[in-house]
Chains A and B, each alone.
Chain A
Amino acid sequence: MPDDGLIPALSCLMHEGGGLLVGTADAEGVPRGTRGWGLRLDADGRLRVTVSADDPAIVENLTDGVVALTAADVRTLRSAQLKGRVVAVEEPDEDDTTTAENQVAAFFQGIVETDGHDMAVLQHILPTRRLTIVVDVASGFDQTPGPTAGDELGAAR
């Protein structure tokens, strides 16, 4: 399990304007990436991550699969990657939806402020359908660009 403070820090990062990437792999080990749209900690200490369900291959990979989650601050590129196992795939509940809405708004605002891209155009990358995955996190890594990228942030369980 990574540092106790890592997941709350990531959650905070997402609320301040973070982008979320979700890496998956199929049974043969073929990787497939997509974007995440919300991240929060549930009462059991597991992560609930809202992901795009537009790609059927991703949805299939998520069932009983493993994932890599990279959260990056759009303003500073400070980032971390968590790895773990998906223990459930569900329709987003009300809290998931609210979290995703808030984090997407902060993410897009960060892009508008730092990259100058148009808010209306950004809407084009939003998925049409979303799912929530529940993740049991096993390890975390520094992903900030630079020489420390890849350093483990906590010992694996």
Chain B
Amino acid sequence: MTATETSPVAETGEELTLEGLGRCYEGAVPAVVCTADAEGMPNITYISRVHIVDHERLALSNQFMSKTSRNLVVNPVASLLLIDPLTYEEYHLMLVYERTERRGPVFERLRDDVDELAEQMGLRDVFRLRAADIFRVRSIDRVGRHHVPPPADTEPPLRDLAVLAEFAGLVDRAGDLDGLLDVVLDGFDRVLGYHHVCLLLLDETGTRAFTIASRGFDTENLGSEIALGDGPIGTALAQCEVRRTTGLRALAKYSRTIQQSFEADGRRGAPELPMPSLSDADVRIVAPLRSLGQLIGGIVVEHRVAGSLSAEDAHVVGAAATMIAGALEQARHLTGPESDGTGREAPTPASTVAAGGVASFVRCFEVDGSVFVDGEYLIKGVAGRILRALVTEHLATGRTEFTNRELRLDRSLDLPGFKDNLESRLVLLKRRLDERQAPCRIERTGRGRFHLEVSTPLRLDLADETSA
């Protein structure tokens, strides 16, 4: 407020400040703006985003508000309604329009939000922030008379430094990549209090990230992929920055409406396997995993309750991501270039591995490495080719013991010569086989060695070869 104006005081005597209305700017409940033209005819509409600029100013996003903009030119006052998404307390603010910004830090912040919305809608090229309208706040009043405390079950996750230190200690003690992933998921869930977490690693091309571990979702969907720069998560990773997105449910609803308005033709095809996600998430944090300045993956945290993941949580997740990235690189280095050098193990007698029962049908496609087991999609890419190689060898020789080294020398896997990511792909394959309760599983037997556990007879169909 300016010194010449009275501080807004609610009926309770409580002083209301813009900073104190923090949850109202999260986008979980749309704000309402009312203006009037030169003749005093009002116009009232919902608005997608409100941002706090400083202790006496707000910025409103300007996408389709053409009538609002015209009114402000001739009558530069506005009335704003905000709702706290946790308590549904409502506030009325009187605003004086000051200026419109088309560049600068306030515009950039608001544009990030709108870009997020555009990413969500797949309308990056047409849905852009035109301007940020800046208003000075003349008064704030509570609508209604009661102060309502937030519900008890919306307590934010634990955040103090001791908790972060405990998490760091857990990460430090992980023995290998597979164990590290379990530690990270468990640490996020039990120690940091984030119960819906997805961990992504960059693939061999550096252009896509794949899910290597997840917890707290209906399905783990390990192996699901996203291209860097595609969608809100891919964009956050491509830009290598921690990003917190609030009001996801409102965003989803808004995006469906906008898409219909634009008669979008669904140019983004459904992925084979969707990223693990809460269907009713309201807030999300994406943090990049970086090691020595290079992006190696990302971590995604979601929460159902509006206002439950704050800007402070974004710092916590960002710090945790830094710890995880260092540990991941170390784990991959330790288990990557194995030193055993023994090559192939002696074949195990076929009679000991060909388990009885109904055979499982493993179908492999050369074109993208995808593998289906009994008609169900399992995995694709390098991990799929690894499985194909293992099953082929197992059926030919009865072997069940393998080494990383022989895989690394297998040209059919199409591994790059530098930073082949083999260890990550093996861990992904192992976890995906476990997730799907597949008829063959992978068990570590030592550094650079593993065992293929086959529980039912396998039949292999190399689809591309038979159809050629």
- Using a CB–CB cutoff of 8 Å, the interface residues on chain A facing chain B are 21-35, 52, 54-55, 66-70, 72, 75-79, 81, 83, 114-118, 121-125, 127-128, 141, 143-150
Check B144–A33 contact: CB distance below 8 A.
Answer: no
B64–A67 touching, CB < 8 Å: no
A-B contact pairs, 23 of them (CB 8 A): A21-B34, A25-B40, A29-B38, A29-B39, A29-B75, A30-B36, A30-B77, A32-B79, A33-B34, A33-B44, A54-B144, A68-B34, A68-B43, A70-B45, A77-B254, A115-B250, A116-B282, A118-B151, A121-B87, A122-B88, A124-B88, A145-B257, A150-B64
Q: How far is the CA of A117 from the CA of B67 in the complex (A)?
A: 31
| Residues of A contacting B144 in the complex (Cβ-Cβ under 8 angstroms) | 54, 124-125, 127-128
A33 pairs with B257, CB closer than 8 A:
no
With both beta carbons as reference points, the residue of chain A lying nearest to B66 in the complex is identified as A150
Q: Bound state CA distance, A145 and B250, in angstroms?
A: 13
A116 contact from B34, B48, B78, B249, Cβ within 8 A: B249
Residues of B within 8 A of A30 (CB): 36, 77, 79, 94
Q: Decide if A31 touches B45 in the complex (CB within 8 Å).
A: no
**Interface residue from A33, A114, A118 paired with B33 (Cβ < 8 Å):** A33
| Residues of the A chain whose Cβ atoms lie less than 8 Å from the Cβ of B86 | 121
Residues of A within 8 A of B282 (CB): 116
Residues of B within 8 A of A125 (CB): 83, 88, 90, 143-144
* Minimum C-beta distance from B318 to chain A (A): 27
Given A33-B81, A147-B64, 11 other A-B contacts at CB below 8 A?
Answer: A21-B32, A21-B46, A25-B42, A33-B32, A67-B42, A81-B43, A116-B249, A121-B88, A124-B146, A124-B148, A149-B45
Contact call A72/B46, Cβ cutoff below 8 A: yes
Set of chain B residues within 8 Å of A150, measured between Cβ atoms: 64, 66-67
A29-B38, A145-B257 given; A21·B90 CB < 8 A:
no
Chain A proximity mask over B20-64: 1 for CB below 8 Å, otherwise 0: 000000001100111111111111111010000000000000001
Report the minimum CB–CB distance from B46 to chain A (whole Å): 7
For A22, give its contact among B40, B44, B88, B92 (CB under 8 Å).
B44
Residue on B nearest A77 in the bound complex, by CB: B257
A118–B84 CA distance with the chains assembled, in angstroms: 13
Closest 7 CB pairs of A and B: A146-B261, A23-B44, A33-B34, A23-B42, A29-B40, A25-B36, A31-B36
Nearest A residue to B83, CB-CB: A125
Determine whether the beta carbon of A83 is less than 8 Å from that of B88. no
Main secondary structure of the interface of B (DSSP, over half): mixed
List of B residues within 8 angstroms of A146 by Cβ = 64, 257-258, 260-262
Within the complex, the shortest CB–CB distance from A56 to chain B, in Å, comes to 11
Q: In the complex the two chains form, what is the Cα distance from A114 to B249 in whole Å? A: 7
Give the residue name and chain of the A residue nearest to B37 (CB).
Answer: A29
Q: What residues of chain B lie closer than 8 Å to A54, measured between beta carbons? A: 143-144
B83 touches A76 (CB 8 A): no
A77: B residues at CB distance < 8 A: 46, 253-254, 257
User: Which of the listed residues B39, B41, B146, B306 has the most CB atoms from chain A within 10 Å of its own CB?
Assistant: B41
Quick check: A32 and B45 within 8 Å, CB to CB? no
Residues of the A chain whose Cβ atoms lie less than 8 Å from the Cβ of B37: 29
B124 at the interface (CB under 8 A from A): no
Q: Are A145 and B79 in contact (CB under 8 A)?
A: no
A34, B262: Cα distance in complex, Å = 30
Interface centre among B37, B42, B67, B80 (most CB of A within 10 A): B42
How close is B29's CB to chain A, nearest CB, in angstroms?
8
Asked whether, in the complex, the Cβ of A76 is within 8 Å of the Cβ of B256, the reply is: yes
Residue of B45, B89, B143, B304 with most partner-chain A CB within 10 A: B45
* CB closest chain-A residue, reference B247: A115
Q: How far is the CA of A147 from the CA of B85 in the complex (A)?
A: 28
Q: Are the CB atoms of B89 and A124 closer together than 8 Å? A: yes
Chain A CB within 8 A of B112 CB? no
Instruction: Tell me if B173 counts as interface (CB < 8 A to partner A).
Output: no
B145 at the interface (CB under 8 A from A): yes
Contact call A68/B151, Cβ cutoff below 8 A: no
Bound: A144/B64 CA distance, A: 10
B280 within 8 A of A: yes
User: In this complex, what residue of B is CB-closest to A22?
Assistant: B44
Q: Which residue of A lies closest to B127 (CB)?
A: A146
A83 contacts across to B, CB distance below 8 A:
41-42
Q: Is there an interface contact between B257 and A76, defined as CB atoms closer than 8 Å?
A: yes
- Inter-chain contact A31/B79, CB cutoff 8 Å: yes
Cβ contact within 8 Å between A145 and B261: yes
Q: Across the two chains, which residue of chain A brings its CB closest to B42?
A: A23
Do the beta carbons of B42 and A24 come within 8 Å of each other?
A: yes
- Shortest CB-to-CB span from A145 to chain B, Å, is 5
Bound form: Cα–Cα A72–B41 in Å: 20
Checking B35, B44, B66, B256 against A21 with a beta-carbon cut-off of 8 angstroms, the contacting residue is B44
Residues of A near B28 (CB, < 8 A) are 115
Q: Residue of B at shortest CB range from A61?
A: B42
Query: Do the beta carbons of B34 and A31 come within 8 Å of each other?
Result: yes
* Pair A66/B40 contact, Cβ less than 8 Å: yes
For B249, what are the chain A residues with a Cβ–Cβ distance below 8 Å? 114-116
Q: Which residues of A contact B89 (CB under 8 A)?
A: 124
A144 touches B261 (CB 8 A): yes
Kindly list chain B residues whose C-beta atoms are within 8 Å of the C-beta of A28: 40
**A34 CA to B32 CA, complexed, in Å:** 9
Distance in Å from the Cβ of A25 to the closest Cβ of chain B? 4
Chain A residues with CB under 8 A of B41: 25, 66, 68, 83
Cα distance, A148 to B263, chains bound together (Å): 12
CA distance A25 to B42 in the complex (A): 6
- Give the residues in chain B near A33, CB-CB below 8 Å: 32-34, 42, 44, 79-81, 92
